[in-house]
Structure 1
């Protein structure tokens, strides 16, 4: 055999060694795809409305070329206009996701005690939150939810009015440096204020106390949230090797060590304090701060209707509560027979810090931006506050918050158009027959409730794209669908901290608006929204401020 013939044989063998495995893999994948397409799960999924899926990749091609979470949200909203309020999508050829935004369908999911399992995407929170309320399911979720509910009871919330006022005034002082500037991003200020408030409310720790531990914790919370945000739209970060390669795993561990270290330390200290307090008599004011001592008027209210749109069961009277951090209340419950370990307490405290921080910071940032655009609405809010407080710098009492009717409508309308949590995802444990049409969702699929889309449904709201606080006046809410307004979710899985959030928003925003006029040159249509975990603005919450004291007397 000549050298040339030997080369030709070698090339043929090389080609065969590459071609045969390729053909084998292709054949196996083709058979798997054919088998999958004939399963009941896939057959039911393919009957649902939705864009055509490609073999093997499903609908992932819609993400090709998408650079950030703003573009993801923009594409998703535009695509939704072409379909009914039931839309299916495939991630690969096996992972079915169904998007819903009809209230009658949403009611079936959210009112169920069966379909409360979180979707697999929530697993990214596990290193931080463990099996806290955001992630846990089944009996653990049920028992912890019942245990946590009293910590957000009306009489407990009243005791935090002084804390909210104090941190609101701190925010006002911090904003002074921005007066007269062309613009600034308000979210950084509101985020820091929210974390400071939560640190004290959840754990009884001040951000400036304990040799800077509280401040470091606050910074770690905000940075950890940023890591999670990035992981939602940078798909490659979901791969552990890539997550480690770019250095984010190391950074995440540093933040986790700070947060878990402080929460574990505080739990141990609080338990020791609790045991000592049981051994020796303490005064009724043991858990009260000086600020709350001067704000006892805030504890005289007996009704907390924040507002008709927020129906819940947190108002049953269980007696007056002393000013205690949520952690204190959990420790007290555990010492009185409730089954909750130190690790579980830490998970719930960490969960409070995450859920309470980002949502409130986003909601308050959007509200101020909106008021900066709609000057006539801002004037109505300022007039309402001026009628209540005049030129006085008196802190708001709990009773005052009940009179902030127009501000409340503004907050609720903001939460409608810009819900902090734009989607709610769960995994079905059983098949579900929808109410809006002849659709059957297979068990095992992920259901994504599009809160953002629900609140902009023209069949529910007149001119849904227009900011109109009058939508939430009592007379306009009488015939509204319970599941047509879900900024805090609804049903068994609704947010236990919804009243805490509304009370804090009222006091924080009223304090800012009593001191500053907000201005913005942007239109709402120019907002670059990004919807990963929380709804935010990719372009930042930019605004201008000027002192408003001189305006009140005009």
Structure 2
């Protein structure tokens, strides 16, 4: 009797759900995909370690093609890896809503620029000027100053010692972001409450978010609480709240005594001037803070690691730096960065080989057709764009699992599908900081390579990757650094 009383409501609800979503089920039947279990769908398929998730997604595409459906509980996900369809979808006004997985970020960064929600357009509009070329040109002085500090640190390393360069780079990008987007002085940046704890625990926070996204049982509040994950979340949120409150107070105090030219205003100043509530400012502030300093640190570290593993490319980049900029310790300008073609090729290969975001998710708000009209995405579908997998698809990339910066030579680019390379996403929800990050990263690399020679053991392709929101090397960015004294460009040049 007890079993009947429990099972009957479940069966009735299942019948009701299928009746209510008959249109979705009908259209989903036209998309290939793995068999799904009742209620759970394909959730068990994704029960794996974070370093195995990338292979899981790639396997779906290998088995079922460029269009794959899978169910996470009652949520229909459709995985699209056709470049033309990806461009059309991401630039369509029918999918301008973030997917359901972003809700797991909202306790930390609220609803807004990164996670979507009713105010994302307003917040993005307010923040955008701080990322444009005019502002970035002003920020360049900070980038150069902090790059010099990073170079001194790496120059002082024992040349026989292998170390993870990420942590030195992370401290550098954090200082850059604090003094530009956060609007703080160099002195104020040194006294931010909880800053060190936040930046050292960010990876753990990302891992918790990603684990919650991919473990269906953690979606159940009581299980999330009983497993101790809720306590971890509360701890992270408290640290973030205190840090952002301190930054906000510092900027409010500063704005009472100084006038910042509009072209030089950071995002915090713009939010304050706009009159946003403090809680909203803090959430959007941290969203932009962590995506700017943490992502830039990963990419910069990866570029340095690539150059350490590819001595011939490091030599090309170094000689190009001497030709374009010289060996004097003067500031690197945006115009000079544009002339560094070899550096740009290595940078793009890093973005291809290990994506800033492994995948992105959008919610379909209106029915839209893809695959030349053969497939219709029903309303409510979660659209999954596997950027990392797209960047490694042999249909669009020769030897995709090998590191080859030369694939971005002008003559080779002509043969590539431009829609198959989307490191910063596309459309109205694309990466806000592409200009900012590119200038920061290249400035740091130029300053370092001009003074430091990098070395590493083994092959890049043998280093394991891991996804925890973004893609990173599982065991760090390990290399050696040796002060340069060659080609007449010593530290006294």
TM (normalized to structure 1)? 0.80
The answer to whether the 8 Å contact 2:85/2:371 transfers is: yes
Cα 1:523/1:479, change in 2 over 3 Å: closer
Alpha-carbon displacement from aligned partner over 1:170-196 (angstroms, at most 9, x marks no partner): 222333454334422222222222222
Once the 2 structures are TM-superposed, how far is the Cα of residue 498 of structure 1 from its aligned partner? Answer: 0.7
Question: Of the candidates 77, 97, 102, which is equivalent to residue 58 of structure 2?
Answer: 77
Residues 529-544 of structure 1 aligned to structure 2 (within 5 Å): 529-544=465-480
Once the 2 structures are TM-superposed, how far is the Cα of residue 32 of structure 1 from its aligned partner? Answer: 4.4
Once the 2 structures are TM-superposed, how far is the Cα of residue 27 of structure 1 from its aligned partner? Answer: 4.8
Cα 1:341/1:475, change in 2 over 3 Å: farther
Question: 1:22 maps to what in 2?
Answer: 3
Separation in 2, partners of 1:243, 1:173: 45
Question: 1:264 maps to what in 2?
Answer: 245
Residue 165 (str. 1) matches residue 144 (str. 2): yes
The answer to whether the 8 Å contact 2:369/2:376 transfers is: yes
Question: 1:298 maps to what in 2?
Answer: none
Question: Of the candidates 98, 102, 109, which is equivalent to residue 82 of structure 2?
Answer: 102
Separation in 2, partners of 1:157, 1:122: 28
Question: 2:99 maps to what in 1?
Answer: 119
Once the 2 structures are TM-superposed, how far is the Cα of residue 127 of structure 1 from its aligned partner? Answer: 2.0
Cα 1:49/1:417, change in 2 over 3 Å: same
Once the 2 structures are TM-superposed, how far is the Cα of residue 253 of structure 1 from its aligned partner? Answer: 3.4
TM (normalized to structure 2)? 0.89
Question: 1:451 maps to what in 2?
Answer: 387
Separation in 2, partners of 1:98, 1:29: 26
Separation in 2, partners of 1:322, 1:433: 42
Residue 412 (str. 1) matches residue 392 (str. 2): no
Question: Of the candidates 497, 501, 508, which is equivalent to residue 444 of structure 2?
Answer: 508
Question: Of the candidates 392, 401, 415, which is equivalent to residue 465 of structure 1?
Answer: 401
Question: 1:62 maps to what in 2?
Answer: 45
Q: Runs of 5+ in structure 1 lacking a partner?
A: 1-19, 279-285, 288-320
Once the 2 structures are TM-superposed, how far is the Cα of residue 241 of structure 1 from its aligned partner? Answer: 4.0
Residues 319-334 of structure 1 aligned to structure 2 (within 5 Å): 323-332=264-273, 334=274
Cα 1:501/1:398, change in 2 over 3 Å: same
Question: 2:173 maps to what in 1?
Answer: 194
The secondary structure found in structure 1 opposite 2:57 is helix
Once the 2 structures are TM-superposed, how far is the Cα of residue 221 of structure 1 from its aligned partner? Answer: 4.0
Residue 135 (str. 1) matches residue 115 (str. 2): yes
Taking only aligned residues, the RMSD between alpha carbons, in angstroms, comes to 2.8
Once the 2 structures are TM-superposed, how far is the Cα of residue 257 of structure 1 from its aligned partner? Answer: 3.3
Once the 2 structures are TM-superposed, how far is the Cα of residue 467 of structure 1 from its aligned partner? Answer: 2.6
The answer to whether the 8 Å contact 1:237/1:243 transfers is: yes
Cα 1:551/1:96, change in 2 over 3 Å: farther
The answer to whether the 8 Å contact 1:225/1:354 transfers is: no
Cα 1:241/1:513, change in 2 over 3 Å: farther
Residues 291-306 of structure 1 aligned to structure 2 (within 5 Å): none
Residue 204 (str. 1) matches residue 183 (str. 2): yes
Once the 2 structures are TM-superposed, how far is the Cα of residue 36 of structure 1 from its aligned partner? Answer: 4.6
Once the 2 structures are TM-superposed, how far is the Cα of residue 442 of structure 1 from its aligned partner? Answer: 1.4
Separation in 2, partners of 1:244, 1:37: 31
Separation in 2, partners of 1:215, 1:550: 43
Residue 233 (str. 1) matches residue 211 (str. 2): yes
Q: Runs of 5+ in structure 2 lacking a partner?
A: none
Once the 2 structures are TM-superposed, how far is the Cα of residue 420 of structure 1 from its aligned partner? Answer: 1.3
Residues 280-429 of structure 1 aligned to structure 2 (within 5 Å): 323-332=264-273, 334=274, 340-429=276-365
Separation in 2, partners of 1:196, 1:247: 33
- Larger displacement relative to structure 2 (268-277 or 488-497): 268-277
Once the 2 structures are TM-superposed, how far is the Cα of residue 208 of structure 1 from its aligned partner? Answer: 6.0
Aligned length: 485
